[in-house]
Structure 1
Amino acid sequence: MNFRNLSYLLLIAAAAGSACSPHPFVMWFLIINLLTLVFYGVDKRAACNATSRVPEFTLLLLGFAGGWIGAIFGQQLFRHKTKKQPFRTWFAISVILNLLIVAGAGWLMRDLFL
């Protein structure tokens, strides 16, 4: 099993695990941020050892899926992906899109529960 398939399997497992909790959105953000932090660490270690890396698309997807807080911590903690400009631009776009989606979903939920 390659790393990309493993990452998507872990995303599905995170979604299933958060759906089974009493507060699924809170659990989703906790799990996805922890998973993202781990992926940044794995990618940094792979970069130092010149082994197979985590694809940038996967890192961006994790950030877009709500793991951008874990991504920011991972970038600072591991000093990884802090200077690569094309990645930083796409990362900022993914964070903004995630915030817009979460805000829009919150706005729609507010209308449903009022």
Structure 2
Amino acid sequence: MIIYLLLNVVSFAAYGIDKKKAKMDKWRTPEATLLALAFFGPFGAYAGMLVFRHKTQKKPFTWMVPLFMIIHVVVFAFLAFF
């Protein structure tokens, strides 16, 4: 559970760092990397999208991050009941 929490914290931080770099016109984190982080830590990624208002207009992010969240909820529910 601690590892899962850390993955979400890392995802959240990555979205914040990328937003800061975008404002400063510096080297950016590739979108594929942000989506991979969202796959493993979707709640942190979604929170990062909302808090930093980052990647909220990009189509892949608007549907993939919520999809990853749903997948995680379903997997956790499955593990909890079976």
Taking only aligned residues, the RMSD between alpha carbons, in angstroms, comes to: 1.8
* Aligned with residue 63 of structure 1, among 16, 21, 38: 38
Q: SS where residue 81 of structure 1 aligns?
A: coil
Count of aligned residue pairs for this structure pair = 82
Q: Which has the higher contact order (CA 8 A, sep 6+)?
A: 2
Counterpart for residue 78 of structure 1: 52
Gaps of 5+ in 2: none
Q: Give the TM-score normalised by structure 1.
A: 0.60
Deviation at 1:34, TM superposition (A): 1.0
Asked whether the 8 Å contact 1:64–1:97 carries over to 2, the reply is no
Asked whether the 8 Å contact 2:56–2:62 carries over to 1, the reply is yes
Largest Rg, 1 or 2: 1
* Aligned with residue 95 of structure 1, among 65, 69, 74: 69
Q: Give the TM-score normalised by structure 2.
A: 0.79
Gaps of 5+ in 1: 1-25
Q: Which runs of 4+ in 1 moved over 6 A?
A: none
Report percent identity of matched pairs: 35
Counterpart for residue 6 of structure 2: 31
